[in-house]
Amino acid sequence: MPFADILKEVVQGTEGAMGALVVGVDGISVEEFTLDKEIDLQSMTVEYATLLKEIERGSQASQLGSTREVTVIADRAMIMLRRLNEEYFMVLIIKPDGNFGKGRFLLRMSVPKLLKEF
């Protein structure tokens, strides 16, 4: 199943989801599916890739192991980042009143599907 189909499945299965992406640790989007064209996904992913690197550094320094998931709750969206492997992570953006639990579940369930495509 191509990346685009997997992302579409996650977004359409999550009430309030605005978009999902597969992103390299450099912040460059590999694939995206969005329902809200007003979101500047490219600059957002670059910023969150930097954040993920810093959090990973903190996890390693604290001897907690690798960071698998990070959630940011902002005024206008919830942003979930889920590591796929050493080079890529997935991002899911949900409206504040969206279904966070369902989004988190679908995000986690999509990881094996995405990994098959690499």
Residue holding tokens 């670059």?
Answer: 46
Q: What is the pLDDT of residue 109?
A: 94
pTM of the model: 0.90
- The string of pLDDT tens digits covering residues 38-91 is 777 777 888 888 888 888 888 888 888 888 899 999 998 999 999 999 899 999
Domain 3-117 class in CATH: alpha beta
Sheet holding 69-73, edge to edge: 29-34, 17-24, 88-94, 78-83, 69-73
**Strand pairing report for 88-94 and 17-24:** antiparallel
Distance in angstroms (rounded) separating the CA atoms of residues 74 and 51: 14
Residue type, 41: L
Q: What is the pLDDT of residue 1?
A: 72
Q: What is the pLDDT of residue 35?
A: 87
Of the candidates 46, 55, 44, 41, the one whose C-alpha atom is nearest the C-alpha of residue 26 is 46
**CA 100 → CA 16, 49, 57, 92, 105, distances in Å?**
9, 21, 26, 10, 9
Alpha helix ranges (H) inside 22-99: 41-61
